[in-house]
Chains A and B, each alone.
Chain A
Amino acid sequence: DQQVKQNSPSLSVQEGRISILNCDYTNSMFDYFLWYKKYPAEGPTFLISISSIKDKNEDGRFTVFLNKSAKHLSLHIVPSQPGDSAVYFCPTDKLIFGTGTRLQVFP
């Protein structure tokens, strides 16, 4: 029973442009939603979160949007930088991670 799905396994974006990463979830009972990023050979690191009672949270270049009616979560990175190239996960608040989306930002 996969509670969150990231349907795009990879995304390629030019430096300076916007990166949009998406998650769809099946369970409406989560208290908050999370985004983590992972570089090769390292453990994931926390990026940003959003409470289930909000629809937007912003932290610098990173903004997370929550559409509860559509059960959809998205992460916007503006402007994208080469250092953002990593795998991004949107785990549930029970820390079920899923398959992730690999973002590549090219010059």
Chain B
Amino acid sequence: DAGITQSPRHKVTETGTPVTLRCHQTENHRYMYWYRQDPGHGLRLIHYSYGVKDTDKGEVSDGYSVSRSKTEDFLLTLESATSSQTSVYFCATRMGTEAFFGQGTRLTVV
């Protein structure tokens, strides 16, 4: 257990509203990731970070932004939520070859 906490764990929001998901780690891992899980698509990488203020796009970054102002926190923001962003979101950190995942955030956009 790499001490990864995602908040909130569940959220329902309306279309067009901004949403921020938080990932907090206690292990001081340099790399952090955000994924979404959807049926038929497996896990898709949204954005990742390789250090404070250093982020890059993943496979499905459109409609999402991220920020990392501290080593321990990686925020994922949906600027204007859409129904297609209804999903389960996972945060991960990485140490060497191994990644450690949080418990996930279930986001529903209505």
Contact = CB atoms under 8 A, between A and B. Distances in A.
Interface of A: 32, 34, 36, 38, 41-46, 49, 87, 89, 91, 93, 95-100
A43 B48 CA distance: 17
Interface residues on B, range: 20 to 34
A13 B18 CA distance: 45
B74 interface: no
A42 B104 contact: yes
Given A42-B103, A42-B104, A43-B90, A97 B97 contact: no
B101 A44 contact: yes
Contacts of A95: 33, 45, 48, 92, 94, 99
Interface in B92-109: 92, 94, 97-104
B98 to A, nearest CB: 5
Contacts of B42: 87, 89, 97-100
Contact of A100 (B43, B92, B97, B101): B43
Contacts of A89: 42-43
A42 B1 CA distance: 13
Given A43-B104, A49-B98, A99-B42, 13 more contacts: A43-B92, A43-B102, A44-B90, A89-B43, A93-B97, A95-B94, A95-B99, A96-B58, A96-B59, A97-B44, A99-B40, A99-B41, A100-B42
Contacts of B45: 95-97
A32 B104 contact: no
25 contacts: A41-B103, A42-B101, A43-B90, A43-B92, A43-B101, A43-B102, A44-B43, A44-B90, A45-B101, A46-B99, A46-B100, A49-B97, A49-B98, A89-B43, A93-B97, A95-B92, A95-B99, A96-B45, A96-B58, A97-B42, A97-B44, A97-B45, A98-B42, A99-B41, A100-B43
